[in-house]
Structure 1
Amino acid sequence: MMLRLCLLLLFFTPLIAQAASINQNVTTATSAIATTSAIESPSQFLGYPLGSWHLRHDQINFYLKQLARQSPRVSLESTGSSHEARSQLTAVITSAANQANLKQIMAQRAQVKSGQPQTGPLVIWLAYSIHGDEASGAHAALTVSHQLSSSQEPWVIDLLDNAVVLITPTQNPDGLDRFSTWANNYTGKVNNSDGNHNEHQQNWPSGRSNHYFADLNRDWLFLRHPETRARIALFHRWHPHYVGDFHEMGHNQSYFFQPGVPKRTHPLTPEENQRLTHQLAAYHAKALDTRQQPYFSQQMFDDFYYGKGSTYPDINGSVGMLFEQASVRGQQQESDNGMLVFEQAIANQVATSFSSLKGALALKQELQLFQTRFYQRKDKHQPSGRESGLLISTSQDPGRRDDLAQVLQQHQILFFYLREGLRQGRHYYAPRDSLFIPINQPQKSLLLALFDQRTEFDDATFYDVSSWNFTYAYNLQLARDVSLDVDTLSSQRPLDAPLSIAADSVAVLIDWRQHHAATVLQQLLSHGVKVKFAAKPFSIMTSAGASDFTAGTLQIPLGRQTMASAPLRELLISLATHHRLTMATVTSSRALSGIDLGSPDFHPIAPIKAVVITGYGTSASEVGELGYFMDQHLAAPLTQVDVSRLPSLPLNRYTHLFLADGSYQNVAEKLARKLGQFVNNGGVIVAQKGALSWLSKGNLLKSDVRNPRAFEQLFATDGMRFDEQATLRARKAIGGAILALDLDTSHPINFGLQGNILPILKNKPLGLLAGSSSFTTAASYADEPLLDGYLATEYQRSFSQTPAIRVERHGQGAIVALTDNLLFRNSWLDAQKVYSNSLYFIPALH
C-alpha cells in the first residue's frame, strides 16, 4: 500500500506543480488583486487550472454568461454568429451604476461622429484571438474578465466608475475550436516541448483561419464574413477610444507591442494617434519589465493596412494597439529564447491587458479629446446642398453597386443614389448602377483610405498588401471632384421594375454583366432548366424596346423546356426579384442585328460538378476562397478532396478540377497523365499560380512558366552593403499590388467583364512566357501594368505585355491557366467572372 501511495505521489507531483505554477503566474500578472469570492474564477468554473487544456468556444461563452449572472458589473452583448453558427459574445464590464445607465451612455456614443465634446465614460475594447490558433489571448480574456467583475482594488473601482470595458475573448470561434481540438488531442500528462510533436504542428488548414480558411484580421475593410460584419457593427455602436488587439507570432520571438515601424505608418493616420500610441507603450513596457519578460517595439510590424484590428481604429478616431506574444501552439515548446510555457504566455497577455486599462484610464482626457477633434473638423460635416465627391458606376451591374453600398453603410459612410442619369466625361452614370459619395462627411478619413491611390513609398516593406483601392477591387468607373446637390439625390435604392413575362414571350434574356447572373444561372441549371449563352453580341426587340446585348448574354428559351411553362415563369420572376436581377423578355427570335436567338452561336450550358484539391502543398486561403465563391456566390456544391486521395479519385464524375496555389510537392508527376485524360475527355482544369508549375513539370501545360526563382536574376546585388539586405528583400517581395490586364474581349473567358482593362491584385512573382500557340492568350499584363501600390520597376518591366490568362485546348477539354488569384479575399467581384466563365462557358466551346 505504501509503495502504491509513493508511486501515485511521484506520478501526480509534476501535475500538482504545474497547476500551482499556472495559478502563480496568473496571480503575479494581476498583482494579487483582491476579489469577491462569490464570483467564480475561470479555474473554479472549469474544474481545472486555466490553461492546462485549450478552451473551446462554448466554454468561453458559458463562462461569460456565468459572470453576467454573478456580477452586477457585467452584461453581455451578442455580436452575431460565425459561419458555423457559433454565437459571438462580448462582455460589457463597468460599474453597477454605469450598467444601470447604459442606455444613456449608448446615446452619448451615438453622437461621437458629430464632434461634440465628450462627457461620458471612456470606452476600452480588448479583443483577442482573431486567429484561432493564437490561443493565449482567449485564455487571458477570461482572467481579465473575472478580475474586473470581482476585484475590490481601488484602481479597478476607479476604472469601472470612469470607463466601460468591452472584452471579446475570441473573434474567430470556428478557427479556435479547430485548433483547440487538435492541440488537446495531442496533449498528454507529460508535456512534450519538441517542436516536431503533432501538438505543435497543426494539420491542414490550421486553426488560424475561419470556416472558409479566411484570415479574419484582413477582412475589416471588405467585410466578406459574418464574424467581421458583427465586429464592425460593435465598433461603430460603441466607438471605443482605445482598442487592444491581442495576437501571437513565431515561437522564436519574444513579445511585441506597438508602435510599429515609424516609416511604415499610413500617411492618413493622424500624428496625434501615434503620439498617444507612444505614451501608452510606456505602460506596457513597465508591465513586462516587472515580469522580466523581454519585448520589442517599432520593428517588424507596421500600421499601414487599415483592414486589420489594430489599424482600423486609427482611421476612425480611436487608438488601436497590436500585441504579439511568442506562440506556444500547445502547452510548452522549445525556442531560441528558452522554454516557452503556455501559462506564461497567458500571463503576459493578462499583464498587457491590465497595462492597457491603466494606460487608457490615465490618458482618458487625451483620448477623448483626440476623438472629439478627429470629428470636429469643418470638412467632417453632415452633407447638405452642393457637395464635392466621388461619382461611381458599375457599368450595367447593379449587383456590384449594391455590394459596395452595403459595405459603405456598415462603415457608416454616407452615400446617395441618383434620381436621374448624368454624363460625366465619356461615361453615362445611370440610376440603376451608380452612387454619389460626398467627400466632406464624418467618415471622410475612412472614405479617403478606401479610395486611396499611391505608387510611391518611403519604405517598400509591407506587412500586408500595399494597396486595397476600392476603385479597382470593385472595378468601378469613377469620377473624382464631381459637384452635385445632395438634396436632389436619394438615400433610398431605386425600385426595380417588376419582371412580367407575357404569354407570347419566346425567351428571357439575362445580361451576363450583372453580378448575380451566375447565381441565377446555377439555380436554373439545378432546376433542370435549359439555358444557352451568346458567343457574339446582338441587338433585339424586347418588351422595353430595342436593346443591345453583349457576348455572354444568357437565353432561357421558354419552349421545349422540361419544366412546365407556368412554373418556369414563376421561377424566373422569383429569382429576378430575390437577386434584384434585370431580365428582358422577347416575343421573336429574330435579331435586329447580330445573331438570332436560334443561331448556333448560342451554346447550351451543361450542369457543373466541380472538385478542388486540398491538403498539404495547397494554399488553404485560396482553397477557401474558391469554396466561398462556389458556396456563397453561386450556391453550387464544391467537392473538396485531400491531395492524398487524388490518385484514387474517379475524375470522370466531375466537370471541373480546381488547383489553387501551392507546391504540390507530394503529388507524383505521373498523375499528370490522369489529369491529361480527364481534360482530353472534356474536363476543365482551372489552375492558378504555383499549380501551373506542377502542371508544366508534368508536361500537361504547354505554356512555359516563369517561377519565382526565375525572377531573382532581375535584381542586381553587386556592390550592395550588408545592411541593405532588408531593402533588397522588400523590393523582391510583391506584398500585394494592383496591376492592369489587357483583355481579349472576344474570348469567352472574359465575357461579362467591364471594358478592355481588368484590375487584379498580384502578390507572387510568377508569370508565363510569351510565344505559345495561337489563340490561347486571353489576357496580358498591360504595357505599364502598375495601377496602385508598390511593385519594383524590375517586375513592372518584366511583366509588361506577358500572358496572365491562357486557355489551352486539350482534346475535348481545356486548361485555364491563371498567373494570379483573381478571387483575392473574395473581394474582387468583377474579376471573379473569370471563374464563372470557366465553369459555364469554356466546356461548351470545343
Structure 2
Amino acid sequence: MKQITFLIALLFSLVTSAQNQFELSYYLPQNATYNKTIPTPESVIGFRVGEWHVTHDKLVEYLKILAASSDRISLEDRGQTFEGRPLLLLTITSPQNHSNIKQIQEEHLKLSLANESSQLVVSEMPVVVYQGFSIHGNEPSGANAGMVLAYYLAAAEGNEIENLLNNTVILLDPSLNPDGLQRFTYWANTNKSKHNNTDSNDREFHEVWPGGRTNHYWFDMNRDWLPVQLPESRARIESYRNWMPNVLTDHHEMGSNSTFFFQPGIQSRVNPLTPKENQILTKEIATYHAKALDKIGSLYFTEEAFDDFYYGKGSTYPDVNGGVGILFEQGSSRGHAQETINGVLTFPFTIRNQFTAALSTLEASNGMREKLLEYQRRFYKNASKEADKDQVKAIVFGDDKDVAKTYHLAEILKRHKINFYKPKSDLLLNGKKFNEESSFIVPTNQKNYKLIKAMFNTQTKFEDSLFYDISAWTFPLAFNLDYESLKSTANIGEIVSDLQPVKGKVTSKSNYAYLMEWHEYYTPKVLNKILQKGIRAKVGMKPFSLEGINYDYGTILISVQNQKYNQDKLFTILNEIAGSASVTIKGVNTGLTNNGIDLGSNQFRIINTPKVAMIIGNGVTSYDAGEIWHLFDQRYEMNITKLDESYLSRVDLSKYTTIILPSSRLQLTDTNLKKIKDWVSNGGTLIGYKNAVKWLSSNKFIKLDYATVKVDAKDVSFEQKRDFSGAQVIGGSIFETKLDRSHPINFGYKSNKLPMFRRTKIFIKPDSSSYNNPIKYTANPLLSGYISKPNLEVLKNTVPFQVKNMGKGKVMVFTDNTNFRAFWYGTNKLLMNAIFFAKEM
C-alpha cells in the first residue's frame, strides 16, 4: 500500500512539475522571498519564461525596466552590434557596494599589479564574477536563464542573497550575441505549434542556412576573445579588462541527446601557460555545480570533453589572465520541446539547468572568495617572477612596407591593455629592418606577461594530439609581420599612449603619373575606389626604380593623361581616396626609369573593374563565407554579391568577373554546373577554397594531382580508436611557404617566405612546370601548432594554391582559408590578387 501511495505521489509530482515548468517557481530557489515591487519577466515580455523564446528587443526592454526598479543593478550600454542592437552589461551587487563601486574596482585591479597587491586585504574585498550568456545565438537557454538570474538577484530577499551581494560584484552579460539570438528566436517562434510537436523531424528544429549560431557576418564569436575583431568582442574585452574578474562563465548548448557539461575539461589538453592551480580551483567550483544539479535531479558529466588550450574562447581567456573560466554546455531543445534519447527535452528544463549552474557559480565564488582573490594576486606575482627570469626581455614587430598591418596588431595589444613602445632608433636584427616609425616594441616584464607569451609564442610539441579548436595562433605570423625577440630593453623608447593609424596621402600633384606600391594592406581598397571612379589603372609586372625609389612587382600606375578627370580633379580624388586608408600614392614627373621597365612599357597591364559574387547557401560553410563577406564589406569597402544556390539557375552570371566558392559540398544540378562552366570558359574567374577544391576537381573544373596519407592502426584498441583518428586531424596550425614573387598571386609580398594557416588534409602535388607553383610549402614547413608526422611528411613541398585555364577563364583553388577568423591579415591579399590580377596569371 505504501509503495502504491509513493508511486501516486511521484506521478502527481511529475505531472505538477510539467504543468508548472513555465512558472517562475520552477526556476527560482524556494528558500527566499521575493520583492513584489520588482517586475517579473512576464510582466514586461508578455509571456512566461520558457513559453516562447525571448527576442533580444524584449530582453533589453525587460532589463532596462529591471535596472530602473532596483538599487542593486546599474546598466551600461557599451555600444552596438553590426545590426545596431545594444550591447548591455548589468553590474549587480549590494547598494552599499554600488555607492563605493569605483574604489572597489580600483582596488580589485591592483590585484594584477605585482608591486602593489601585497598591501591589499583580500578578506575585505568582494569577488568579481562575469557571467555571459548565449554567445552562440541558437543556444538560447543561456540568455533566457540570464533574464531569470537578473530577476532573482534583484528581487530575492533574505540573509543568503544579502551575503552574496555584499561579497560579490556580478557583471551580467545577458546576450553575448544579440544578432544571432534575434535570428534564431525568430526561427523558433515562427515555427512553434500551439501544441508542441516534439518530433525531431519538425521544421522547428532545423534552421535554414546560415542559422542563428553566428553574428551578422556569420562569425563564431566564441573564437574572437583573443583576436577581438568584432564589435561584440571589443565591448566585452573592454569590460573584462576594466574589471579583471576572478571567475567567468560561458553558457552554451550542445547536441539534444546530451545532458549537461561543466568544466574542468580534458586535463591533458590544458594550455601549458595555465597554472595547475587554475584547474584545482575549477575542480573545486565543479563540486558546487554537481551538488546543485544533484538537488534538482539533472544528469551531467565533466572532464570527458572540451579543453582549455586556445585562449580565444570565453571559458579559456580568463585562464591566462589570473581568473578561472568555466564552460557550461546544456543539451539543446533546439526549439520548445523535442524528443531525445533521454525523453522529451523541454526549453524550460534547459533554462533551469543553466540558471542552476549560474547560481552555483555565484555560491562557489562567494564560498571560495578569498581563495580566488589570493589566486589572482599570486598569479600576477608569479608571472612577474617568470618574466624576470625570462631571457626574452622584449619583442619587436613591424613592417616597413605595411604600416596598416602593424597598426592593427598594435590595436589588438591595446585592447588587451598590453603596453608597447616605439623603438629609440632603427634596428637591424637577423636581416630584418625595424624602422623607428613603423615598428613597436613589447616589453615582456609587464602585468600581462602570460598573455604576451600566449600571443607571440610558437609551439610544436604537445602533451596531447587532440584539440577542440586550433593549436596555433601566433599573431605576428598571422599578420605576416617581421618580429624578433630582444634580450635587452635598451632600445625601448617612448610608450605609445595614443595609437593612431597612419594617414594616407598623395605626395605631390603630378601632370604625368602616380604610382602606388602594392605592399600596404589597404591598397586593394584604394585600387577598387580608383576603378569605381572610372579612373584607368595598370599593374606593373616587373620591378623598376624611379627618382631614387625602388618599385616592386605589382606597383599600380595611374597616368594623368586621357583620364575622365583633369589633373587637378584627379589629384583631389586620389588624395581623398589615399587619405581614407594608410596608403601613400607618389606623384612622378617622368616615365623614364633608372632601372627596369619604363612607365609606358607593355609590362604595365590594364586592370579591369571587378564585379565579384560569392555562392552561399546549403552546402557552403557559413563561417568561411562570412569571413569573405566581412573582408570585402568592412575592410576593403567592396561590394560582393551573395548568390544563394537555391536561385542560382535564375541568375545572369555574365555580369560578374569573379565568383568565389567558399569551402563547400554543393549539390548543384547538371544545368547549373554547365552554367558555371560556360561562364568560366567565356572569361570568368572561379576561386574555390578548402572542400570546394575537391568539388571543383571532381566536377572537372580543374585537374589536380593529390597526395594522400595512409596510416595503419597498429596496436590501437577499440577504446583508442577515436583518439587515433583525431590525432590525424590538422585542427589549425601555421606552416611556412616559399613564394615566387614574380607571380601575380604574390604581388605585394616583400619576402619570399609566407606563413600560412592550414586545417585541411587536402595535399596538392606541385605542377611539373615550376612556374605554375607560385606558392609551395618548404621542406621543413611547421612553424607552430600540431600536425602528425605522417601528415607533415606528405605536406612537405606540396602546394596550397593552383591556377589553371578553362577556356578563356581561370579556375583558382586554395587548399585552406586565407581569411581565417578575420585576424589572418597576412594572407588576405592573396584573394585580392586573385581578383584584380587574374587575367595576368
State the TM-score bracket (shorter-chain normalisation): over 0.9
CA distance in 2, matches of 1:387, 1:662: 43
Pair 255,436 (structure 1): closer, same or farther in 2 beyond 3 Å = same
> 2:539 aligned to 521, 533, 538, which one?
533
Q: Which moved more, 1:344-353 or 1:667-676?
A: 667-676
1:202-246 deviation per Cα after TM superposition (whole angstroms, max 9, x unaligned): 110010011111000001111111110111001011111111111
Question: Which residue identity is paired with 2:523?
Answer: A
- Do residues 685 (structure 1) and 686 (structure 2) align? yes
Matched with 1:3 is none
Matches within 5 A, 1:406-425: 406-425=411-430
Matched with 2:144 is 139
Matches within 5 A, 1:804-843: 804-843=800-839
Pair 493,93 (structure 1): closer, same or farther in 2 beyond 3 Å = closer
Pair 275,17 (structure 1): closer, same or farther in 2 beyond 3 Å = closer
Contact 2:633 2:640 in 1 (8 A): yes
Contact 1:669 1:697 in 2 (8 A): no
Matched with 1:265 is 270
> 2:349 aligned to 339, 344, 348, which one?
344
CA distance in 2, matches of 1:183, 1:17: 26
1:169-192 deviation per Cα after TM superposition (whole angstroms, max 9, x unaligned): 110011111100011111011111
Pair 18,749 (structure 1): closer, same or farther in 2 beyond 3 Å = farther
Matches within 5 A, 1:140-539: 140-377=145-382, 379=384, 388-485=393-490, 488-491=493-496, 499=505, 501-539=507-545
CA distance in 2, matches of 1:189, 1:495: 55
CA distance in 2, matches of 1:495, 1:799: 38
Pair 453,382 (structure 1): closer, same or farther in 2 beyond 3 Å = closer
Matched with 1:747 is 743
CA distance in 1, matches of 2:101, 2:723: 51
CA distance in 1, matches of 2:413, 2:27: 45
- Give SS of 2:792's match: helix
CA distance in 2, matches of 1:201, 1:146: 31
1:290-339 deviation per Cα after TM superposition (whole angstroms, max 9, x unaligned): 01111111111111110000000110111111111001100111112222
Shift of 1:533: 1.2
Q: Which moved more, 1:454-463 or 1:279-288?
A: 454-463
Q: Which moved more, 1:421-430 or 1:287-296?
A: 421-430
Pair 535,498 (structure 1): closer, same or farther in 2 beyond 3 Å = closer
CA distance in 2, matches of 1:467, 1:34: 50
> 2:717 aligned to 721, 726, 748, which one?
721
Question: Which residue identity is paired with 1:324?
Answer: E
CA distance in 2, matches of 1:216, 1:500: 38
1:526-563 deviation per Cα after TM superposition (whole angstroms, max 9, x unaligned): 2222221111111111xxxx011110111222222212
- Do residues 34 (structure 1) and 36 (structure 2) align? no
Question: Which residue identity is paired with 1:701?
Answer: I
> 1:794 aligned to 773, 790, 794, which one?
790
TM (norm. structure 1) is 0.93
CA distance in 2, matches of 1:359, 1:42: 26
Question: Which residue identity is paired with 2:182?
Answer: D
Question: Quick one: percent identity of the two aligned structures?
Answer: 35
Question: Which residue identity is paired with 1:752?
Answer: G
Matched with 1:699 is 700
Shift of 1:44: 2.3
CA distance in 2, matches of 1:382, 1:783: 34
CA distance in 2, matches of 1:497, 1:56: 42
- Give SS of 1:484's match: coil
Matched with 2:6 is none
Pair 561,357 (structure 1): closer, same or farther in 2 beyond 3 Å = same
CA distance in 2, matches of 1:754, 1:90: 44
- Do residues 548 (structure 1) and 547 (structure 2) align? no
1:792-815 deviation per Cα after TM superposition (whole angstroms, max 9, x unaligned): 111111122122111112233211
Shift of 1:698: 2.1
Contact 2:428 2:434 in 1 (8 A): yes
Shift of 1:17: 7.6
Contact 1:611 1:657 in 2 (8 A): yes
Shift of 1:64: 0.7
CA distance in 2, matches of 1:284, 1:48: 29
- Give SS of 2:196's match: coil
Contact 1:528 1:563 in 2 (8 A): no
Shift of 1:601: 0.9
- Give SS of 2:384's match: coil
1:375-424 deviation per Cα after TM superposition (whole angstroms, max 9, x unaligned): 234737999xx992111122411010000010000011111122421211
Pair 817,73 (structure 1): closer, same or farther in 2 beyond 3 Å = same
Matched with 1:605 is 607
- Give SS of 1:803's match: coil
CA distance in 2, matches of 1:209, 1:497: 33
Shift of 1:498: 7.6
- Give SS of 1:715's match: coil
Q: Which moved more, 1:236-245 or 1:429-438?
A: 429-438
- Do residues 45 (structure 1) and 44 (structure 2) align? yes
Contact 1:431 1:494 in 2 (8 A): no
Contact 1:613 1:659 in 2 (8 A): yes
Pair 493,178 (structure 1): closer, same or farther in 2 beyond 3 Å = closer
Shift of 1:730: 1.9
Matched with 1:564 is 566
1:38-67 deviation per Cα after TM superposition (whole angstroms, max 9, x unaligned): 111112222221111111111111111011
Contact 2:423 2:492 in 1 (8 A): no
1:153-180 deviation per Cα after TM superposition (whole angstroms, max 9, x unaligned): 2111111112111111110011111100
> 1:768 aligned to 760, 764, 769, which one?
764
Contact 2:423 2:491 in 1 (8 A): no
Shift of 1:147: 0.7
Pair 552,432 (structure 1): closer, same or farther in 2 beyond 3 Å = farther
Matched with 1:106 is 105
CA distance in 2, matches of 1:380, 1:728: 39
Question: Which residue identity is paired with 1:626?
Answer: I
Shift of 1:27: 3.3
Question: Which residue identity is paired with 1:452?
Answer: N
Contact 1:381 1:441 in 2 (8 A): no
- Give SS of 2:625's match: helix
Pair 28,661 (structure 1): closer, same or farther in 2 beyond 3 Å = closer
- Give SS of 1:189's match: coil
Matched with 2:596 is 594
Shift of 1:755: 1.4
Contact 2:660 2:687 in 1 (8 A): yes
CA distance in 2, matches of 1:165, 1:502: 56
Question: Which residue identity is paired with 1:527?
Answer: K
Displacement over 6 Å in runs of 4+: 16-19, 380-383
CA distance in 1, matches of 2:85, 2:175: 11
Question: Which residue identity is paired with 2:95?
Answer: A
Question: Which residue identity is paired with 1:723?
Answer: E
Root-mean-square deviation (CA, aligned residues, Å) is 2.1
Shift of 1:346: 0.3
Q: Which moved more, 1:670-679 or 1:393-402?
A: 670-679
Contact 1:334 1:340 in 2 (8 A): yes
Structure 1: gaps of 5 or more residues = 1-15
Pair 718,589 (structure 1): closer, same or farther in 2 beyond 3 Å = same
Contact 2:732 2:785 in 1 (8 A): yes
- Do residues 72 (structure 1) and 78 (structure 2) align? no
- Give SS of 1:832's match: helix
Q: Which moved more, 1:429-438 or 1:62-71?
A: 429-438
Question: Which residue identity is paired with 1:688?
Answer: Y
1:700-737 deviation per Cα after TM superposition (whole angstroms, max 9, x unaligned): 2122356xxx54xx110244222221321222211111
